């Protein structure tokens, strides 16, 4: 039976509010699997199984696939699509409510790869949830709105560059592996998408206090039209004139803006804030 027949037979109704835009084309699904670099010894955590098309293909490659799905009306569809698979398992849960402990138990405390054609309405919280956790995430392969993919991979100084660019960079190296036009999805959304593969850094960044770095990045983009000095003075509650002098001594223009700085430069300033005890109450 084709996937369309299975959906029809189950009387499935697509829910726009859950970001249900499914991929059924086997060539596209195979390309996403290739981009994910999943192989037979891998544990995969899939977010949003949908009709199970990607789940099934991943399960044919990986050792195990654990897929979250919030919509229980997909049960008959997923049971049919995955009936012959003994490596795929669906958890009918809201991924944003699953604790690290629950995820560790499901993945048997082993490192795992995240693969998802993400529901658009939770893109940012979902990315942050995995890149800032202490879970042993090896990589993320995410189908996202093209615009978000461009923000994640943006360069300093560009209008797309933002706090999410740097948050992802702390975790790893993001690459856009392909663009998927809107007509690759059923139903078609009104934007194009891109697949982004984010591989975890082999050696973590060296920074004195990661929480201070994250706070500084938030400060850097808090008010885009303000200088970094102004934003640091407000967010860290320090004297503007002293921080102005310090930024100059560190080799930056006193008028520098958060969107002009690289991750390495943010690390340099964050370490300085720690050394000066400016960041004691973060």
List 38, 78, 90, 95, residue binding ligand SAM (CB under 6 A): 95
* Shortest spacing between CB 186 and ligand SAM, in angstroms: 8
Separation CA 178–CA 104 (nearest Å): 30
Report whether 68 contacts 91 (CB < 8 A).
yes
Strand partners, 231: none
The answer to whether 9 contacts ligand SAM (rule: CB under 6 A) is no
Strand 112-117 and strand 137-145: the pairing is: parallel
Report whether 250 contacts 272 (CB < 8 A).
yes
User: What would the two tokens of residue 81 be?
Assistant: 């699509």
* Shortest spacing between CB 32 and ligand SAM, in angstroms: 8
| Residue 237 burial (C-beta neighbours within 10 Å; 0-12, 13-18, 19+) | exposed
The answer to whether 50 contacts ligand SAM (rule: CB under 6 A) is yes
User: 152 or 228: whose CB is closer to ligand SAM?
Assistant: 152
The answer to whether 117 contacts ligand SAM (rule: CB under 6 A) is yes
Residue 71: count other Cβ atoms within 10 Å of its Cβ: 18
The answer to whether 69 contacts ligand SAM (rule: CB under 6 A) is yes
- Binding part of the chain for ligand SAM, among 41-49, 128-136, 169-177, 246-254 by CB under 6 A, reads 41-49
- Binding part of the chain for ligand SAM, among 4-12, 88-96, 160-168, 191-199 by CB under 6 A, reads 88-96
Q: Is the alpha carbon torsion for 202, 206, 212, 214 positive or negative?
A: negative
List 119, 162, 172, 220, residue binding ligand SAM (CB under 6 A): 119
The answer to whether 113 contacts ligand SAM (rule: CB under 6 A) is no
The answer to whether 78 contacts ligand SAM (rule: CB under 6 A) is no
The answer to whether 148 contacts ligand SAM (rule: CB under 6 A) is no
Q: For tokens 């835009």, what's the residue?
A: 21
List 7, 38, 64, 71, residue binding ligand SAM (CB under 6 A): 71
The answer to whether 162 contacts ligand SAM (rule: CB under 6 A) is no
- Binding part of the chain for ligand SAM, among 116-124, 176-184, 247-255, 264-272 by CB under 6 A, reads 116-124
What is the SS3 assignment for 165? Answer: helix
- x-or-dash string of contact with ligand SAM, 213-252, rule CB under 6 A: ----------------------------------------
CA triple 44-51-14, angle to 5 deg: 130
Q: Which of 135, 118, 115, 205 is nearest to 168 (CA)?
A: 205
User: What would the two tokens of residue 164 be?
Assistant: 């999410």
Listed in order, strand segments (DSSP E) in 158-244 are: 172-180, 193-200
- Binding part of the chain for ligand SAM, among 12-20, 127-135, 223-231, 238-246 by CB under 6 A, reads 12-20
* Shortest spacing between CB 182 and ligand SAM, in angstroms: 12
Q: Which of 117, 98, 136 is nearest to 24 (CA)?
A: 117
Binding site for ligand SAM (CB under 6 A): 18-23, 47-51, 53-54, 68-71, 94-96, 117, 119, 122
């Amino acid at each position: 039976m084709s996937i369309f027949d299975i959906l029809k037979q189950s009387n499935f109704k697509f829910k726009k509010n859950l970001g249900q835009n499914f991929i059924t084309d086997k060539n596209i699904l195979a390309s996403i699997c290739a981009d994910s670099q999943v192989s037979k010894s891998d544990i995969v955590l899939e977010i949003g199984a949908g009709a199970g098309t990607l789940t099934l293909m991943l399960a044919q490659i990986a050792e195990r696939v654990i897929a979250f799905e919030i919509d229980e009306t997909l049960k008959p569809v997923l049971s049919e699509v995955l009936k012959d698979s003994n490596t795929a398992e669906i958890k009918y849960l809201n991924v944003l409510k699953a604790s690290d402990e629950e995820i560790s138990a499901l993945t048997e405390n082993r490192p795992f790869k995240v693969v998802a054609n993400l529901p658009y309405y939770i893109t940012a919280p979902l990315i942050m949830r995995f890149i800032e956790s202490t879970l042993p995430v090896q990589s993320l392969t995410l189908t996202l709105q093209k615009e978000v993919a461009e923000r994640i991979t943006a360069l300093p100084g560009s209008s797309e560059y933002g706090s999410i660019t740097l948050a992802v960079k702390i975790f790893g190296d993001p690459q856009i592996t392909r663009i998927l036009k809107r007509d690759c999805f059923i139903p078609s959304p009104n934007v194009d998408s891109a697949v982004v593969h984010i591989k975890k850094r082999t050696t973590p960044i060296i920074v004195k206090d990661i929480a201070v770095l994250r706070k500084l990045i938030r400060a850097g983009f808090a008010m885009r039209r303000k200088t970094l000095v102004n934003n640091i003075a407000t967010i860290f509650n320090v004297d503007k004139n002293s921080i102005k002098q310090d930024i100059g001594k560190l080799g930056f223009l006193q008028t520098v803006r958060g969107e002009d700085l690289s991750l390495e430069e943010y690390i340099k300033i964050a370490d300085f804030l720690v050394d000066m005890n400016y960041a004691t109450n973060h």
